[in-house]
Amino acid sequence: MIIVGERISVIAKRVREALIKRDPEPLKELAIQQVQAGAHYVDLSIGPAEDDGEELMDWGVKVIQSVVQAPICLDTTNPKAMRAGLKAHNNTWGMPLINSASGEQERLNTMMPLAGEFGAEIIALTLNERGIPAMAEDRCVIAAEIMGKALECGVPMENIWFDPLILPVAYQQDKCKESIRAIKMFQELNDPPMKTIVGLTNICQGAPKELKPLIIRTFLTLLMYEGLYAAIADPNDKELMAVIKTTDVLMEKKLYAHSYLEM
């Protein structure tokens, strides 16, 4: 399974300070740690960054790719910053991943053309102006609209990664199963199957700290059973990576060997 390393996020205090001060060291350290632990993409979350987004994204992309040979998941709602990131990105190790478009017209109309222009991969959240639909079927309707827009913008279907949006089990227990169903149904929208991705940590929001890791791991296993393609997660969570590797082995995605956890 594809792992998008989530640790370079504006939400984390240390990262936020580094972004403000343009201190490259924390970003480099986190990028190296995540890629060494098996991350395929490094997420760079700068938030909306309304004042200096372009310059900040350009700086962050270059800092990260100066130390790791991996593509970057460009995480911002600011279209100008997104364009700056796409421009700065070194595509030697894979195309950048736009995080994200959605079924909201404004976001769709700004982000999807960028994916077309730069040949980038793009995460598409299946929500619209009315929010996140309760039922998987309704999320598929939004997905279909997004696919239509992608066609218009010349974005190939295999570049779209659908995110059904995970809601916390502590608050919306009935939505967990819908997200799992959505993962299965998204894939059926195309042949070859559409790619899927989730931000895992949402599932345990509001739950007691000691339960969080267990909830995340168990939920991920269920999603992987339905064919989840990628997860935004912490690759330095060894137990989580062990669960991913074991599920891959049990689903015959990887060949078993006694030391499979160490690879």
Partner 1 sequence: MAFVVPKETYSGKIYEVTIGKGDKAVTVGGENTLPFLTFEGEVPNRPAIAYEIQDIAPDDWPATVANVYKEVSSNPVTWAKFCQDTLGAKAIALRLIGTHPDRGDASPEAAAKVVADVLAAISVPLIILGSNHIEKDGPVLKAAAEAAKDSGAVLGKAQQENYKTIVAAAAANNLRLVCMSQLDVNLAKQLNILTTQMGFDKEKILMDPMSSALGYGIEYTYSVMERIRLAALQTNDPMMQTPMIADIGANVWKAKETAADIAEWGDVAQRGITWEATTGVSMLLAGAELLVMRHPEAVAVVERTIDELMQ
Strand partners, 98: 74, 122
- Reduce the DSSP state of residue 125 to 3 states and report it: strand
**Angstrom distances, CA of residue 15 to CA of 23, 72, 232:** 9, 16, 17
Q: Are 131 and 155 in contact (CB under 8 A)?
A: no
**Residue 263: CB minimum distance to partner 1, A:** 6
Nearer to partner 1, 40 or 83 (CB): 40
**Residue 94: CB minimum distance to partner 1, A:** 12
Nearer to partner 1, 177 or 253 (CB): 253
- Contact positions vs partner 1 (CB under 8 A): 253-260, 262-263
> For residue 213, what is the enclosing H or E element?
helix 212-225
Nearer to partner 1, 92 or 259 (CB): 259
Nearer to partner 1, 131 or 192 (CB): 192
**Residue 261: CB minimum distance to partner 1, A:** 10
**Residue 22: CB minimum distance to partner 1, A:** 37
**Residue 262: CB minimum distance to partner 1, A:** 7
Nearer to partner 1, 39 or 167 (CB): 39
CA 111, distance to chain mean position in Å, is 15
Residue partners of 4: CB distance under 8 A and separation at least 6: 39, 40, 41, 42, 43, 73, 97, 197, 230, 231, 232, 233
Sign of CA dihedral 29, 35, 37, 39: positive
Nearer to partner 1, 51 or 252 (CB): 252
Q: Hey, what are 14's tokens?
A: 């240390």
DSSP 35-55: HHTT-SEEEEE----TTTHHH
**Residue 37: CB minimum distance to partner 1, A:** 16
Sign of CA dihedral 214, 219, 225, 231: negative
